[in-house]
Amino acid sequence: MEDVTQSLLDAVGIMFLGMGLVYLFLGVLILGIHLVARWCAVDAASARFAKNHAKPLDPNVVAAISLAVKQYRSQIK
């Protein structure tokens, strides 16, 4: 009977150890996601600032790119 009790106590200990490791991993994962989200928000804000202060596109360049895309798409079909 003592062997069964000891085995059950070992099993419960291993179960709590496993659950604790899972919660620790999930906590670190959530923390990492929050840090990356904060880093990307700062990066997106600086990109928006740069976008607002960018020079307007040259209409000739836009027309050349549009024509090249149209020709490429017509060759594929």
Average pLDDT over residues 26-32: 98
Pick 76 or 43 by higher pLDDT.
Answer: 76
Task: Summarize pLDDT for 33-66 with one digit per residue, the tens.
Answer: 999 988 888 777 666 666 666 678 889 999 999 9
User: CA-to-CA distance for 9 and 21, rounded, in angstroms?
Assistant: 18
Q: What is the reported pLDDT for 65?
A: 95
Residue 53 DSSP symbol = T
Task: Summarize pLDDT for 12-25 with one digit per residue, the tens.
Answer: 999 999 999 999 99
Model pTM greater than 0.75? no
